[in-house]
């Protein structure tokens, strides 16, 4: 069976920092039935504004529809499609694992945050695929608890 390539679009949305902005943005996406694979929200370099990074699971035409829906919102200042651009892209995972499984995770690049009787808490950051592989590794080693961030993406400067 041929492998189906995921169509992940990365949108960077600059919005006004106002009550209900995230609700309005997510509502615009939900009404159109788009599948969001990842989302992160954080401050921007502009006071009073923050940046929402979305990974949308669809092709170019669908991403254009998402963009148009978002641009209609008063709170949205700018929408950029970063798909295909040269970007820095990172995700973070924090997980508690059994101490006996620690060496394999440290070899993959995990960093220890804390150690307790019920397990060791580690962090790992990387590109989406790297973090996905790390999660797969965690499942083989018995996760006690896990939290994963959404994407943080910034266009590379030349």
pLDDT at 98 over 90: no
Average pLDDT over residues 8-25: 91
Work out the mean pLDDT of the chain and round it to a whole number. 85
- Percent of the chain topping pLDDT 70: 92
| 89: nearest Cα among 136, 45, 129, 139 | 129
Tell me the CATH number for domain 87-155. Answer: 3.30.70.1150
At the second CATH level, the architecture of 8-81 is 2-Layer Sandwich (3.30)
Q: What is the pLDDT of residue 59?
A: 60
Which segments of the chain belong to CATH 3.30.70.1150? 87-155
Overall average pLDDT of the 60-70 stretch: 78
Provide the whole-model pTM. Answer: 0.79
Q: Which residue has the tokens 């590109």?
A: 127
Confidence category of residue 1, pLDDT binned at 50, 70, 90: very low
Query: Looking at the predicted structure, is the pLDDT value of residue 3 above 50?
Result: no
Task: Pick the more confident residue, 51 or 117.
Answer: 51
Antiparallel, parallel or unpaired: β 111-116 and 49-57: unpaired
**Tokens 């069976």 sit on residue:** 1
Of 144 and 110, the structure prediction assigns the larger pLDDT to: 110
List the structure tokens of 38: 């990842």
Using CA of residue 57, residue 62, residue 65, residue 67, what is the dihedral sign? positive
Place 2 in a pLDDT band, splitting at 50, 70 and 90: very low
Tell me the average pLDDT across 78-101: 87
* Exposed/middle/buried for residue 14 (C-beta within 10 Å: 0-12, 13-18, 19+): middle
**DSSP per-residue codes, the chain:** -PPPPP-EEEEEEEEE--TTHHHHHHHHHHHTT--EEEEEEEE-SSTTEEEEEEEEES-HHHHHHHHHHHHTSTTEEEEEE-TTS-EEEEEEEEEEE-GGGHHHHHHTT-EEEEEETTEEEEEEEE-HHHHHHHHHHHHHH-EEEEEE---EEEEPP-
Q: What is the mean pLDDT of residues 118-139?
A: 89
């Amino acid at each position: 069976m041929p492998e189906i390539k995921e169509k992940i679009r990365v949108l960077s949305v600059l919005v006004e920092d106002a009550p209900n902005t995230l609700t309005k943005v997510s509502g615009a996406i939900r009404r159109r039935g788009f599948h969001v694979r990842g989302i992160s929200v954080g401050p921007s370099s502009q006071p009073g504004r923050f940046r929402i990074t979305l990974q949308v699971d669809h092709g170019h035409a669908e991403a254009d529809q998402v963009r148009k829906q978002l641009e209609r919102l008063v709170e949205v200042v700018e929408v950029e499609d970063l798909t295909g651009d040269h970007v820095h892209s990172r995700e973070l995972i924090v997980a508690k694992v059994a101490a006996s499984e620690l060496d394999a995770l440290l070899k993959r690049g995990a960093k220890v945050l804390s150690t307790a009787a019920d397990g060791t808490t580690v962090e790992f950051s990387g590109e989406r695929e790297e973090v996905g592989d790390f999660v797969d590794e965690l499942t083989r080693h018995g996760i006690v608890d896990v939290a994963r961030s959404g994407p943080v993406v910034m266009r590379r400067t030349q």
